[in-house]
Structure 1
């Protein structure tokens, strides 16, 4: 359910369309993915030390879910009652709060998966969960497509409110979970730099992940550029493309990741590069279906990068060491995301659609860097 809620309130589809439709400044779109991702990543190092005190990590996870639900719920009156600039600003602030909840869930979910799911099945089960959420959100997108354009704000408020309800609904469903993680005191005292120096595989994973962040960063600009060419209600088509990509590809990516997460990262990266390159050279055709199709291809590649990266990190560490690695990697990536977000917020008004070419270049570098990742099995 949380995966479905993530898709419905996505910073790559729903929120860019929201900001564009209410007339918020264009620079806000450049900040959506960096705020959502870095806001959930940077706090993880200080949170790690507090979370390690709790043997039963599922309790911390539930707190994170509740924070996300309340933040999303706050977006409904912001969109309905505030003017463009203030509504956009409120959404960004609430996105920061939502990201803090995601930070708690991200740290604890890795531990819960590591305890409850045995090695060799993790990627497949992550893929199944993503596929199911993709199918459910595809049905939601279908309902939106059948709706009338004059009701688009009503549909928009429904999407946001429904995402909040989904987060809340996971709380009673999680009561049966029991993921106890024993503390490993010999690693508990490692500093941030010691953790980075202690494992070259972790360092290379962080570098690769920072470059491949552009598989997510580039997505809002697919939506924004397409929306600027046509004022019709296009959001459902992008949600459907993202959902269909998750539904069709997640299980395959999960199965491949169990066999070789590194190879899966490379294949998925190639798909993202192709999607970005073709969009850059063909967006001027003004074809909604071509742009949505390329967004689907990008979403397939992103799903592969994400699933393989998660599986790789689960497989190279255990217990508190895994928590330490997750916190270290996510903190570094969070700061890099903020830097990218600030950079793109400045350059986007100047280079406009050429930002697609720039981001595709970074994806190519990420693909090349993946050859420094050691094989996990």
Structure 2
């Protein structure tokens, strides 16, 4: 399916996919970290302070009841004055705690609980101050009855409201903490999935690159090595492909055909030169066979055969010179032989003349048998 795509396109798409995978993985890490930081910051800046303020409010609210009871139970004016001052300080502290909690309200539920606690406190505060005034005026029984009835009831009601607000903020803190853990796990899982996806994409691109680039390049390298060794009858692999390597293969195939044609042309030219050289030598040898020793190869040969022409011409010149010397020697021999024959004839004729003269001087006038044999 991907054979029709160019390598540049595949590499570009693969790079984009890997980059997208890395970007998504990084974004997942950043998003998870931001969510976790947001929840932790919100928990540390809101939930935990809310729980701490509500805890202090509960403690100071209990101190209001406790110090009010000490005010009622004081045995002398000095103890009563100390208890009243502590009681008033506790009331001030509760007011401050409720004011500190207001900026930490997180949602409607938290705001409703705060408004309920504030309303109960505003009703509770005049009641406890009334009990304190009755105690200071010496109406300890009335103060104690009001304390045991209304104060205890209102205190329990407000305490439940404060406990509800505290529990709600604790649950919110736990929820945000749990959300932080869940978001962190989700970010880890998402990063793992994106990492595996990126790894698979990388392996796919690597496998595709190996199949589309590495193996064809190795085949082309072998083909070029074979061509360098002179094997021009090979088939260039991958010339049918439509990608960049196909272009390279077709170009290499064109180079192979060009080299082949050039080699054929050079071979034909070399054969033509050899035929011309051998033709000239054949003519020269035929002339030499016919005794034409003055025949020379006049046509210039190519540089690689020029020494052959020079050697042949030098050989025929040397042979011609040697045959001329032989002819001259033969003539001299024939002349010497003629002179020797002539001298021998003259000697024979002189001998015969002398013999005849001797015979003519004999008395009988007849030659002897020996003379006759000598004359013969």
Alignment TM-score > 0.5, same fold: no
Structure ID, larger Rg: 2
Larger RCO, structure (CA 8 Å, separation 6 or more): 1
TM-score (norm 1): 0.24
TM-score (norm 2): 0.24
